[in-house]
Copies of this chain bind each other. A is one copy, B any other.
């Protein structure tokens, strides 16, 4: 449990692919799908969704395709997952408005909501750039501190 859907996985993989090919003006859904061996039509729809939410820009016609709308560093895994799978709530009794119907049972909800925020925080702190492989290892070593993401989260119950 607590796993993300294949769609979200595919979406992350696709963005990673785009981040690793910044030179090309655009990559077609089919190219990306072929690169990873995932169903093209399915990926296409995922990319469409990411386009609608503004994470990608699309271009129809020959040599068209998709491209990141921002720098890979500025796109978090959270955004991608949220765009594809919708709002993530660890508690099954979602809906801040109505809450779970009967019973003020979910006193659990409160502490778990914090867990939820923590998880969101982790996901928000990870960018597509972090997922991509940065070729210039040697260069990175020379240029200074490694470009590692270091995340520290605090959870107080």
A interface list, Cβ under 8 A from B: 1-6, 8-9, 12-13, 16, 35-38, 77, 81, 85-86, 88-94, 102-103, 105-108, 111-112, 115, 118-119, 122-123, 125-126, 130-131, 133, 148-157
Residues of B within 8 A of A155 (CB): 122, 125, 149-153
**Overall SS of chain A's interface:** mixed
Question: Given contacts A122-B155, A157-B149, are A3 and B115 in contact (CB under 8 A)?
Answer: no
> Shortest CB–CB separation between residue A138 and chain B, in angstroms?
19
Is B153 a contact of A149 with CB atoms below 8 Å?
Answer: no
Residues of B within 8 A of A90 (CB): 2-4
